Amino acid sequence: MADVRYEVVRELGVISENEKGWRKEVNLVSWNERAPKYDIRDWSPGREKMSKGMTLTKEEARRLKDILDAIDL
C-alpha cells in the first residue's frame, strides 16, 4: 500500500478528547498534495496516528452545517 501524505493546512477545532489523549478534530487537510478538504477524525497525541475519518468538500461542509443548524439540540 502506498504511503499517504497529508498536511494539516488549518486547525479548525477539537470536538472531544479521550482519556488516552486522542482528539476528535475538525481540520482543513491536504491529502497526497491535493486541494484541502474539511476533515473530521481522531488523532493521536502529536498526530503520529489517525483513525478512519471523513472528508468533505466545501459544499458538503455547508450542507452538513445546514443540517446541523436545523436540528433541535
Write down the domain spans for the chain: 6-70
Global pTM? 0.88
CATH, range 6-70: 2.30.31.70
pLDDT digits (tens, 9 = 90+) for 9-30: 999 999 999 999 999 999 999 9
Please tell me the number of Cα atoms within 13 Å of 50 on its side-chain side: 16
pLDDT digits (tens, 9 = 90+) for 39-64: 999 999 999 999 999 999 999 999 99
Q: Identify any residues that bridge with 17 across adjacent strands, giving them in sequence order.
A: 23
- Report the DSSP pairing between strands 37-43 and 54-56: antiparallel
The C-alpha atoms of residue 64 and residue 7 are separated, in whole angstroms, by 23
- Kindly indicate the confidence band of residue 1, based on its pLDDT and cuts at 50, 70 and 90: low
Q: Are 10 and 2 in contact (CB under 8 A)?
A: no
